[in-house]
Amino acid sequence: MADADLVLEGGGVKGSGLVGAVTALAEHADPYTFHRVAGTSAGAIVAGLLASGMSVSQVKGVMDDLDFARFEDESGFLAHVPGLGASAGLLLHEGLFAGGFLHDWISETLAGQGVYTWADLKQDDPGSALPPAHRYRLVVIVSDVSRGLMLRLPWDYESLLGLDPDRVSVADAIRASASIPFFFRPWMMPANTSLIGHDHIVCADGGLLSNFPMAIFDRHDGQPSRWPTLGVKLSGQTSIRTEDWAPNNSNLQLAKSLLSTMVGAHDRSYVNDPQAVSRTIFVDTSNYRATDFHLTPADKEALFAKGRASGQKFLAGWDWGTWKAGDYTK
């Protein structure tokens, strides 16, 4: 079996594309096994399922069965007023939807795998040179909007939140990472008052600061990596957005463009780096919106097929030995 670490981009409801690409890696003649997985938003969800010990086929089944329409949840008495609850959520609570179903779903799904806190995802790797705080099978990217920080959880729990990760819920981090701005309400994450002066921080979608944290597992100690870090990106291989900006665009279109710029700018340096491009599977999902919570089973299957085909195309030209030798011209 081939060894690798894996990084999965965020993409809202387009997670089936990620699953398709990972399936291609798992079905390869020399099947890949993943020691560590990192992700943002939808990538954090799929990464969490993989890190919990699910097989790729199990992850596909879970994603196929998931009804994204249930993510459109509301709370309080306004939830019973048709057409008003979601709008009130945006005005009163910084998000259209409460995000309760999302949290409950990922919490229950992980619990079915015996995963509750980060202690359940500790990495057993005697050959690892990682510091103890980094010895986990999963890393989730979260945006701490209270302080303008990118959190790499569980790595940053102790140093930036004053918490013991082994006592903190994994589902909380994934819910926070998937808090798409304006759609899901921000997640209030507990913190140590003695460290930061408050008992919680406000968290939003990790994609605001890094939607594709491709370099997260790269070594910086001058030693060679034992295996590659592979990435899956939910877009075609292009460095510049192709949307045209019109002078008469609405405020809503401006807000969407601002959000898209924030999500993409931080990671563009990785996408333009031959070292990163040559180890990334690009899945063109441009025909689907990240916030289309009414994807049909056929849509999910089409996304999965695109991911699988993209993964197979990548593997046809990928060679770890060649890459290690410095040939990034794949």
Query: Across all residues in the chain, what is the average pLDDT?
Result: 87
CA dist 101 and 117 (Å) reads 19
CA dist 265 and 261 (Å) reads 6
For position 326, what pLDDT does the model report? Answer: 85
CA dist 90 and 255 (Å) reads 14
For position 137, what pLDDT does the model report? Answer: 98
153 φ/ψ sector (left φ>0, alpha ψ -120 to 50, else beta): beta
**Cα-to-chain-centroid distance, residue 203:** 14
Domains of the chain: 2-325 (3.40.1090.10)
For position 264, what pLDDT does the model report? Answer: 54
- Tell me the whole-structure pTM to 2 decimals: 0.89
| Percent of residues, the chain, with pLDDT higher than 90 | 69
For position 247, what pLDDT does the model report? Answer: 58
CA dist 110 and 173 (Å) reads 12
Per-residue pLDDT tens for 30-72? 999 999 999 999 999 999 999 999 999 999 999 999 999 999 8
CA dist 306 and 300 (Å) reads 10
For position 72, what pLDDT does the model report? Answer: 84
Say if residues 149 and 49 touch (Cβ distance below 8 Å): no
99 φ/ψ sector (left φ>0, alpha ψ -120 to 50, else beta): left
What is the average per-residue pLDDT within 164-168?
Answer: 98
Ranges 62-71, 125-134, 136-145: which has the least confidence: 125-134
What is the average per-residue pLDDT within 302-310?
Answer: 98
pLDDT band at 255 (very low <50, low <70, confident <90, very high): low
- The answer for residues whose C-beta is within 8 angstroms of residue 262's C-beta and 6 or more apart is 208
For position 89, what pLDDT does the model report? Answer: 42
